[in-house]
Amino acid sequence: MTVFDIAFYILAVITLGSGAVVALSRNIVHSAFSLLGTFLGVAGLYVLLSADFMAAAQLLVYVGGVMVLILFAVMLTNRIGEVELTNTSKGILPGLLLCGAMAVILAYTVATTSWETVAEPAYRSTAALLGEAFLRQYLLPFEVLSVLLLAVLIGAVVVATKELKSEEEPG
């Protein structure tokens, strides 16, 4: 058991434990904050996989962006005066059975397949390699992604803005 293995198991427990709280908690605010734990655990797993740029992007975008968005949405969509922020789930037992069966089958299949892997996985900085990939091989998807982000920016503002109704002049 090297330090790598111990770190992996700790991060896996953090990630899956937080994911379980997200899926099973009755309080939506508890779920939202546990989602933060999941994102941090996944960022740690990226560091173990030598994906340093991915870990930084995960922290910036997910923890710093999506997490804040979700917390805003949870806090803004509660009726004023409602002290208990509940989120009852419907049919949790059939859901657990179904998703548990699916996850077990998936995990078993994945664990018993002999994947073709590189003998010595390289531990290196990936930012330069990603930059080259984005500007050479994947240039078109990169540009399309920037157009999409512009569309999302405009679209989200348009959808969420309250329309100011102008006063009708009587008769």
Partner 1 sequence: MNLTVGLQHFLVVAALLFGLGVLCLLTRRHVVGILMGIELILNAANVNLVAFSHYGGNMGGQVFAIFVIALAAAEAAVALAILLAIFQTLKSSDVEEMATLKQ
Residues between 106 and 135 that touch partner 1 (CB under 8 A):
106-107, 110-111, 115-118, 121-122, 126, 129-130, 133-134
Among 10, 102, 135, 139, interactor with partner 1 by CB under 8 A: 102
**Mapped to the 3 state alphabet, what secondary structure does 134-163 carry?**
HHCCCHHHHHHHHHHHHHHHHHHHHHHCCC
Among 37, 81, 87, 143, interactor with partner 1 by CB under 8 A: 87
Minimum CB separation from partner 1 for residue 168, in Å? 20
Q: How many CB atoms lie within 10 A of CB 18?
A: 21
Least Cα distance to 38 among 17, 54, 58, 55 occurs for: 17
- Is residue 82 a contact point for partner 1 (CB under 8 A)? no
Nearest residue (CB) to partner 1, 3 versus 169: 3
- Is residue 32 a contact point for partner 1 (CB under 8 A)? yes
Site for partner 1 in 4-23 (CB under 8 A): 4-5, 8-9, 12, 15-16, 19-20, 22-23
Nearest residue (CB) to partner 1, 164 versus 171: 164
Minimum CB separation from partner 1 for residue 28, in Å? 5
Angle ∠(19,23,28) on CA atoms, nearest 5 = 110
Three-state secondary structure call for residue 129? helix
Contact residues for 92 (Cβ-Cβ < 8 A; gap 6+):
24
CA-CA distance, 53 to 128, in Å (whole number)?
Answer: 9
- Is residue 139 a contact point for partner 1 (CB under 8 A)? no
Site for partner 1 in 42-61 (CB under 8 A): 42, 45-46, 49-51, 53-54, 57-58, 61
Contact between 38 and 59 under an 8 Å Cβ cutoff? The reply is no
Tracing tokens 């953090």 back to the chain, one arrives at: 14
Minimum CB separation from partner 1 for residue 170, in Å? 26
CA-CA distance, 35 to 29, in Å (whole number)?
Answer: 10
